[in-house]
Amino acid sequence: MPISPWPSICTSGTNSRVAERIVVIGGGVMGSALAYWLGRLAPAAAVTVVERDPSYEFASSALSAASIRQQFSTAVNIRISQASIEFLRRAADELALGDERPDILLREHGYLYLAQPAGAAALVRAHALQKAQHADVALMDVAALARNFSWLNTADLSLGSLGLSGEGWFDGYALLSAFARKARAQGARYVKAEVTGLRVENGGVTRINLADGTQLACTHVVNAAGPWARRIAAMAGVELPVFARRRTVYVIACPVPMTPFPLVVDPSGFWIRPEGARFIAGFAPTDEPEEAPLQPDYGAFESQLWPLLAHRIPAFEAARLERAWAGYFEMNEFDQNGIIGAHSTVRNMLFMNGFSGHGMQQAPVVGRAVAELIVHGRFDTLGLSELSFARIEANRPLLEENVIG
């Protein structure tokens, strides 16, 4: 049975009927990945992406740490990342325009999760789940950690888990740009405008109001508004548990060479990885108000992050904070997982929201999944119904324990 009861656009093998009226709200990595996949799956569809700020100054996709891992605590997230890394490895071919092949600078240097005695059982549990999904991960005892990462203070550790392949980082802005450029070349129309309202009639959105007074008719509308998705949902009377939570990324110089250096996730909650000749790091602050101004929290570096860093990696005693930036996590405070597909009361409005810090890596696969829902009325390549809105409506959380920073 189709996941969205609203008519898909290719029910009888043709996509000409209503294809001209798919409107995507938000042209970040999610909206642009979707526009790209719609162009692939339904080339005759005319897709409109409404983006209020083509400079993406505050968009999460432009402010992301853009890292990808297989080490999740839910199987569906592992499966998404496995499919995503395959796409990222092929991105230069998939998103090429003639001879121009985008370089997203994918580096597969792994994630290293560290555990103290209290956290070791959870790491072993997650490892078993990851292995069952055929993730390329290995547990390391303290001796192995010390042998492989001589720069690490292992004194208070009991276990580590290292991704051997399929994990690392890339240039998120380059991925967003490549999706958007290819989507445009395939026929998607990007409109600079702000969505201010939605008209809902007979259980579906029929009109999208823009700030300049223009109205767009639609047969399908997609909420790809990232940290601002709750406001768009509210315009259609839907309550979406997604909140904009500020995260600061610190750029740090350290004079001591340390290799190999994967993305490290410390038991205290901070993360750090190399970025060119420097490092970037962050952690999850407590009590952040919703939509705090996007000024970096410089004070927290001295008072909170630096002591933890210097404890785990003693070479960071000599480190220097060079600069910092801040962006919003689009936190799904119901269960820290993405929300994909339609809500039962507004049947032609699809959501791709709430990725809680793992949306950049999931965008290639989520974009394809939402395009499949619109074009075919079902997930074709990877079943993602666990992430549907129905779990929220039924109050059945699918908790992701491995949320970073």
Ligand X SMILES: Cc1cc2nc3c(=O)[nH]c(=O)nc-3n(C[C@H](O)[C@H](O)[C@H](O)COP(=O)(O)OP(=O)(O)OC[C@H]3O[C@@H](n4cnc5c(N)ncnc54)[C@H](O)[C@@H]3O)c2cc1C
The binding site for ligand X (CB under 6 A) comprises 25-31, 50-53, 56, 59-61, 63-67, 194-195, 224-228, 247, 249, 327-330, 355, 357-361
Complex with ligand X: residue 184 or 247, whichever CB lies closer: 247
Complex with ligand X: residue 54 or 203, whichever CB lies closer: 54
- Minimum gap (Å) between residue 121 Cβ and ligand X: 26
- Minimum gap (Å) between residue 172 Cβ and ligand X: 6
- Minimum gap (Å) between residue 70 Cβ and ligand X: 12
Reference 362, options 319, 391, 396, 332; nearest CA is 332
How far apart (Å, rounded) are the C-alpha atoms in residues 116 and 218? 53
CA 194 remoteness from chain centre? 22
DSSP tag of 107? B
- Minimum gap (Å) between residue 168 Cβ and ligand X: 10
Complex with ligand X: residue 204 or 338, whichever CB lies closer: 338
Is there a contact between 324 and 296 (Cβ–Cβ < 8 Å)?
Answer: yes
Q: Which residue is nearest to ligand X (CB)?
A: 359
Which neighbouring-strand residues pair with 68? 168
SS3 405: coil
Is there a contact between 232 and 25 (Cβ–Cβ < 8 Å)?
Answer: yes
- Minimum gap (Å) between residue 266 Cβ and ligand X: 15
Complex with ligand X: residue 36 or 56, whichever CB lies closer: 56
Complex with ligand X: residue 194 or 322, whichever CB lies closer: 194
Six token digits for residue 307: 């002591």
How far apart (Å, rounded) are the C-alpha atoms in residues 269 and 289? 19
- Minimum gap (Å) between residue 5 Cβ and ligand X: 25
SS3 321: strand
Omega of the bond leading into 5 within 30 degrees of 0 (cis): no
Sequence letter at residue 218: C
Backbone CA torsion sign across 151, 153, 158, 160 = negative
Complex with ligand X: residue 12 or 286, whichever CB lies closer: 286
- Minimum gap (Å) between residue 69 Cβ and ligand X: 8
- Minimum gap (Å) between residue 280 Cβ and ligand X: 9
Complex with ligand X: residue 53 or 393, whichever CB lies closer: 53
**What values do phi and psi take at 209, rounded to 5?**
-95, 135
Name, in order, each residue with C-beta under 8 angstroms of 247's C-beta and a sequence gap of 6 or more: 282, 284, 285, 326, 327, 328, 329, 357, 405
Complex with ligand X: residue 10 or 104, whichever CB lies closer: 104
